Each structure stands twice: as C-alpha cells, then as structure tokens.
Structure 1
Amino acid sequence: MKKRTIYLNNAATTWPKPGCVVDALLRATRELAGTPGRAVTRDLECERAIFRAREAAARFIGASDSSRVIFTPNATAALNLAITGLLKKGDHVVTTSMDHNSVARPLRRAEEEKGVEVQRFDLSPAGTMKAEGVVKMITSHTRLVVLTEASNVTGSIQPVGDIAGAVRAMGGDRPLILVDAAQSAGVLPMNVEKDGVDLLAVPGHKSLYGPQGTGFLYIAPGVSLTPLLEGGTGGHSGQERQPESLPDRFESGTPNTPGIVALGEALKFLAERGLEEIRAEEIRLMDILTDGISGIRGVELFGPRDPRERVGVLSFNVEGMDPAEVGTFLETTRGIILRVGLHCSPHSHRTIGTFPEGTVRISPGIFNTDEEIIELIQGVKDLQRARGIL
C-alpha cells in the first residue's frame, strides 16, 4: 500500500496544483504548437493566450499596463534582471538582513564587479522594519531599496506600502523600490501603482499555484533596465539592436507558452477564490500550528507568534537535534514532507541565530487540512517522547 504523504513544503513550491491549472498546462501542450510573434494562425493563438495571461497578471498586482509584466522562468530570474539590469558603478543599495540568496548573490556580484555599496537594515529575529529606519539609511547615491515582503524562513511580513510611501515622499531623485514577493504573492493583496512599487518579482510556482518554470517581473513606467538576454523577439527582426518596446525588450527566445497559459489559469483560480478567504484560512491553520508546536517541551520557534504578522511559514528547532534529523524522523514515521537547513537564506539564519545548521520549516498551503497540521504536531510530540523529553 502506498504510504500517505502530508506535504508541508509549500514555501518551496506549492503542491498539489489546482485541477484547472494542470488541465490548462496539458491542453496548451497538446494544442498550442506555435511560437508567439510569428504571423501564422497557430502562432497568433499562442500570442493571444500569452497576452491573456499577461493581462491576468497585471490585474492581479494592480498594474494598468500589462506590457510592463515581463514573464520569467521564476522569481530568481526576475530579481536578477531587476538588480543586475539596474545597478551601475557608484550606486548604493539598502536591503535587509533577511535576504534570500536570489537577492544577496546578485548584490554581492554588483559589489565585487561594479563597486556598488550594499547596506543592510538589521532586523530583530521576530521584528519588522520601520519606514523611518529605511529612510535614514538612504543617501544621495542610493539607487535601490530592496524589500523582502515576507521572509521564507520566519514568515515575518514587512510593511512594503508604508516604506514605499515614505521613500516616494522624498521626491526628486528618490531610489527605486524593488519588492521580492516570493512568499507574499498569492497571499497578501498587491497594488503596485497604489503602493508606489517600481519593481516587483513574483514566482508562479509558489502561492500563485502555477507550474514551475514561471514567474514575472513588473517594471514601472520610467524605470530603465539593461536586458540580461538578447535575441529573437518575434517582432523588430530587421534591427540588430534589442528593441526598446515592452515586453519584447526583456523576453528574448521562445517562451514557456504552456507554463504561462497555466499560470494565467492559476491567477483566475485565485481571483475566484479570493485572497481574503485564502489569507483567513492560512491564519487559521497557522494559529493551530503555532499553538500546538509552542507547547512542546524542548522546541524553539522563530519569528512572530501572531499568525497575522506572518505568512504561512513557521521555523522551529528541537533542542539537541540537527534539523535534518527532525525532518527525517517526521518523514519516515508519518510521511510528512517539509524543509530543513538554510532555505537558501543564510542572512536570515544569521539574523535569528540559527546559522549554520538552519531550522525545520513548515509551510502549509490552501489544500492542507486541520488533521494534517495536528498530525505534524503529534509527530513532534512522538519525537520528544522517543527521546524521553515528554
């Protein structure tokens, strides 16, 4: 008999995907055989399908011009385009001590190769940054402020709207705002135009419930980036230089048409379900999880205790055990799939004091049940009983 699986690693990639997303992916793979931007019937069908997905993405984030939504393979590619495509020699960047490596590594490269100065706002293990603290770090050379809206380690939520508003109020040659929405897109409401966000990086395969290999970058009017890739765009084929028009400037090569179409279907699924309902259910599950885990002797939790101050991510450690041992025990005894280690975010673990071992991370999704959360809690209790702690 097949062993039961309880999947609690949705911060890495959500699973399962909604049936409508899987159906859209298969249908596009079977039926959309063309290449967008070419003037034959099947190509035009692909182009229209991608346009509909682009429009859905723009609506989802509150952007009035869908051409400013650039499809990418993931949020990592979007962040690299934003950071590497923007920064130049002599620029100054303000970021946080909770960066994912998708932000930290391109920034380190910019430091080493372009002489960019990077300054980090130090967060407390459970705390969030305040707008006034960020503004104080901005200099006349600050080109970019990078905000991780929700930590992939502690789940803590940052007040992006407040910070962006404070930066925007500076006027003049204010720095641009780049938001890493890897853990917040699909859970927290977004309106890039209302909030004043200049660059927004979004993965398709996490809380948007799209397929892997999808994501996008929003680029606000007036923001100029240098493309990382150049080549065929379907249009402007007679010129040797990369076109200036969007989205062609940043979408060279054959796109992932089936994935993008399925992402569009995922956005439709979320819109119909409603982010308020999704967020309320996430808070409810996290409340059960936090209460259950925090009451177990020898277990330490990290991040905000109030589930309203975090997304669906909870990190914990068991005293005297490596996170990998805990993860192995839960998987082998109860079929629970979660994530252990540094979660590609060593800065975060240095901030909360768990470097280099990392933590055990639990991240429920919209298809998880109360019973599965209780099973996880019971599994941690079993572990402590086996060790003679309870």
Structure 2
Amino acid sequence: MNKSLIYLDNAATTWPKPPQVWEAMERVMRESAANPGRGNHGMAVHASRVLFEGRKRLAKLFRIANPNDIAFTMNTTHGLNLAIQGLLKPGDHVIATSLEHNSVRRPLEALKRKLGITVTYVATDSKGNLRVDDVAAAIQKNTKLIAATHSSNLLGSIVPIAQLGELAKRNGIRLLVDAAQSAGVLPINVGEMGIDLLAFPGHKGLMGPQGTGGLYIAPDLDLEPLMYGGTGSKSESPEQPSVRPDRYEAGTPNTVGVAGLAEGVGFVLGETVQAIHAKEQQLVFELMEGLLHIPGLTILGPPIGEERTGIVSFVLSGVDPSELAYLLDQQFGIAVRAGFHCTPLGHETAGSYETGAVRASPGYYTTRTEIVSMVSAVREIQQSLSNRYQ
C-alpha cells in the first residue's frame, strides 16, 4: 500500500479494500479455484458455495427475496447492457435522465440505430434535481422502460428512485436503476422502491475487486441473454437454459472475484450503509466548505448541506481540469479524476461541458486530515497559477 498517497478517486474504484477482501480471494485461489457448477468433486462444490454465499449477502443488502434473481456480471456496464439489450424490442420507448452515464446512454443510442427504439432524456436542473412530474409527462403509450441513475457520478445528486418506482408501477413500466454510485452507500430495497432491474458494481461502494458486479432481475421479468454458452446445466440442449441464474451467466464465472465481493458486502453489512453514508457525507461537506473559500472555484451539484453521495466535482476558473489533477498528483500525491467522467449528459446539465471538471471522491478510509491537505493543495495551486498569469 502506498501510504503517502491521498486517494480521492473512490467514485471510480474504492481503495484501499478491507483486508478480508483480498485474503478471501487469495484463499479461494489457493484452495478451491475450480469451475463451479461443472463438476461434483470437492473443489467444484466449494466454488459453487462461494458464488451462492455472494448472492446471499447481496440479497440481504438489497432486500432481494431470492438470491438466484441476481446474475453476476463483470461490472455495472455489463449489467446495464444485459438489462437494456435483453428487455427492449423494436418500437419501444424509453425514458432516461440528463444525468446518465454513457453505460446507459450508449446502449440506448445503439438500440435507436439497430431497433428503432425512441428515447426521451428528461432534464434535471443544473444541480441534478429531478422532478418526477417531468418524467410522468414524458410517458407515452409505448413506454417500456424508465432508466435512471440513483446518484450522479458527476454531481453526487440523488434521484428519488422510490417515487419513480411508484410512477412506473402505476403505468405498467419497468424501472432500471444504475446503482454505480449508490450500492453500499445508500439504502436500497428493491421491493419497497419498485425496482425491476438493479445494476451494481462490486468494485466501488461494495468494497470488492474490479471485474465484479451484478444485475438483479425481478422474478416476473424474462430478459433475452446477452451471451450464450456453457452454464453447466441442461448441457444436452442447444438452447440457453431458462433456470436462474444460469440463463444469464454463460461461461466460467469469476469465482475468485466473487469471494472478495462477498467479503466486501459483509463489511458493508457490518458497518451499515447508513453509517458509511454519514461518514462520507461529513467528509464531503468539510471538503466543500474548504473549497468554497478558494477564489474562482465553483462546486457542481447540490449546495453544501443538501444530501449527496461522496462526490465533489468542481471547476477552477482559468485552469484546465486535467492540469489541476496532474499537479495534485505530481506535487502533492493526491489522486482525483479530471475530464468528462463518461457523462457528457451530466456536464451539459451542470454547464461544464466546455471545460470538464475535477472530481474528488472521499471514501470510507479517507481521513479529515487528508481533506484538509486536499483543500490546502488546491489553494496553493490556485495561487501559483494566478501569479503565473498576472
């Protein structure tokens, strides 16, 4: 571990991980890294148990009745593609928001070209606040799906998913939620919130490794698989099996990764989502309070004091975000992310499309001292660059 690094890029991938995450991965790799569901010998059976334990913990976290309604994926993007491409048919209409990540937008735009679906992107205000009435007004007779991020990966704003769920159910529409920034950080109850499809990453708020994630699929919903192939079940048939989760998990799974993910979810369950969110929000407010006193700096998203996830994106007048991020890394050992964050829609919404932004995202292991160091570093860079251009 690089102890000198101040890591503020947790919205991309959380770091460091709880020790039990990598310990579990090493243990499985050493002792039971056989193919689950493909044999009846001891190692294969144990590998299958690793996968089921991961599903059980995820089901507990998201209040899912049947763990087998969770399909493991490589990441959120994989899950979103499975949901979008597996559900939509020619002529369908989709409602999305102006906060969406390219992992939602690009599959939708691809299906516009391939299948002739139509998409309405409902605008939020510049702070990322979505009016459910605006979504209701966008509903058409052929609306099949409402797709919404739970929290903007640029603004940190939180979308009222439960209200969208009520709206969707009243109108016989499916609700897909992108939980890339909310899984493990905000409470999620798929039943109470009316969520039909929940795509989530393992490597962010769930504290697991990269290359892991999943998609919850409501039990009354059948998706066309994104991939076809070996599942270890119904091997005599040329058709993909209908049984879950095999239907959506063709090929050898990432058992080692799921072992780590299960321990990450166990960590979240032990600490509680509420406590993790409260800690991150306090760090975010302290970061915002410090940055607001720097001349020429504008913070994107909800104002200080309003609830948000652990994201603070900002623009410093006259300074390229990439240059600022580079200086933070090279001169101060602070890791942030600069650019467009794979959400041009979000930048159009925030008014930062021409410049991009710097995104700092504290996590569970971030300290208040590191927040102070981040503010001090940005202030020093601002003063240095200001003197340079005078």
TM-score category (smaller protein): over 0.9
Q: Say yes or no: does 1:345 pair with 2:343.
A: yes
Normalised TM-score (structure 1): 0.97
Q: Which residue of 2 aligns with 1:24?
A: 24
In structure 1, C-alpha distance between the alignment counterparts of 2:297 and 2:273, rounded to whole Å? 32
SS at match of 2:375: helix
Alpha-carbon distance change, 224 to 356 in structure 1, aligned in 2, over 3 angstroms: farther
Q: Say yes or no: does 1:5 pair with 2:5.
A: yes
Q: Residue 49 of structure 1: CA displacement? A: 1.3
In structure 2, C-alpha distance between the alignment counterparts of 1:142 and 1:351, rounded to whole Å? 24
Q: Say yes or no: does 1:267 pair with 2:265.
A: yes
Q: Residue 308 of structure 1: CA displacement? A: 4.2
Q: Which residue of 1 aligns with 2:64?
A: 63
SS at match of 1:340: strand
Q: Which residue of 2 aligns with 1:328?
A: 326
In structure 1, C-alpha distance between the alignment counterparts of 2:278 and 2:271, rounded to whole Å? 12
Q: Deviations over 1:16-57 (max 9, x none)?
A: 011010111111111112111122211111101111111111
Conserved? CA contact 1:74–1:216, under 8 Å: yes
Q: 1:61 is matched by which residue type in structure 2?
A: F
Q: Say yes or no: does 1:230 pair with 2:198.
A: no
Q: Say yes or no: does 1:287 pair with 2:321.
A: no
SS at match of 1:201: strand
Which 4+ stretches in 1 moved above 6 angstroms? none
Q: 2:64 is matched by which residue type in structure 1?
A: A
Q: Residue 115 of structure 1: CA displacement? A: 0.2
Q: Residue 130 of structure 1: CA displacement? A: 2.2
In structure 2, C-alpha distance between the alignment counterparts of 1:90 and 1:225, rounded to whole Å? 17
Conserved? CA contact 1:3–1:335, under 8 Å: no
Of 200, 211, 214, the match for 2:212: 214
Of 364, 367, 389, the match for 1:366: 364
SS at match of 2:68: helix
Alpha-carbon distance change, 193 to 341 in structure 1, aligned in 2, over 3 angstroms: same
In structure 2, C-alpha distance between the alignment counterparts of 1:231 and 1:330, rounded to whole Å? 46
Q: Residue 131 of structure 1: CA displacement? A: 2.0
In structure 1, C-alpha distance between the alignment counterparts of 2:326 and 2:269, rounded to whole Å? 37
Conserved? CA contact 2:289–2:304, under 8 Å: no
SS at match of 2:137: helix
Normalised TM-score (structure 2): 0.97
Give me the identity figure in percent.
42
Q: 1:370 is matched by which residue type in structure 2?
A: R
In structure 2, C-alpha distance between the alignment counterparts of 1:325 and 1:3, rounded to whole Å? 24
Q: Deviations over 1:292-317 (max 9, x none)?
A: 00111111111001354210011101
In structure 2, C-alpha distance between the alignment counterparts of 1:189 and 1:384, rounded to whole Å? 38
The correspondence of residues 1-390 of structure 1 with structure 2, limited to 5 A, is: 4-37=4-37, 38-170=39-171, 174-388=172-386
Q: Residue 166 of structure 1: CA displacement? A: 2.2
Q: Residue 4 of structure 1: CA displacement? A: 2.0
Q: 1:142 is matched by which residue type in structure 2?
A: T
Conserved? CA contact 1:283–1:307, under 8 Å: no
In structure 2, C-alpha distance between the alignment counterparts of 1:130 and 1:287, rounded to whole Å? 24
Conserved? CA contact 2:128–2:350, under 8 Å: no
Alpha-carbon distance change, 376 to 237 in structure 1, aligned in 2, over 3 angstroms: same
SS at match of 1:156: coil
Conserved? CA contact 2:128–2:349, under 8 Å: no
In structure 2, C-alpha distance between the alignment counterparts of 1:108 and 1:127, rounded to whole Å? 22
Conserved? CA contact 1:130–1:163, under 8 Å: no
Q: Deviations over 1:54-110 (max 9, x none)?
A: 111111111001110000000000000000111110000000111101001100000
SS at match of 1:178: strand
Q: Residue 3 of structure 1: CA displacement? A: 8.3
SS at match of 1:143: strand
Q: Deviations over 1:300-353 (max 9, x none)?
A: 111001354210011101100110111111112210000000011111111112
SS at match of 2:191: helix
Conserved? CA contact 2:90–2:117, under 8 Å: yes
In structure 2, C-alpha distance between the alignment counterparts of 1:357 and 1:257, rounded to whole Å? 41
In structure 1, C-alpha distance between the alignment counterparts of 2:221 and 2:134, rounded to whole Å? 25
SS at match of 1:133: helix
The total of aligned residue pairs comes to 386
Return 5+ residue gaps in structure 2 as ranges. none
In structure 2, C-alpha distance between the alignment counterparts of 1:301 and 1:96, rounded to whole Å? 21
Q: 1:221 is matched by which residue type in structure 2?
A: P
Return 5+ residue gaps in structure 1 as ranges. none
SS at match of 1:192: coil
In structure 2, C-alpha distance between the alignment counterparts of 1:385 and 1:127, rounded to whole Å? 30
Conserved? CA contact 1:286–1:307, under 8 Å: no
SS at match of 1:309: coil
Q: 2:80 is matched by which residue type in structure 1?
A: L
In structure 2, C-alpha distance between the alignment counterparts of 1:255 and 1:127, rounded to whole Å? 37
Conserved? CA contact 1:90–1:117, under 8 Å: yes
Q: 1:69 is matched by which residue type in structure 2?
A: I
SS at match of 2:247: helix
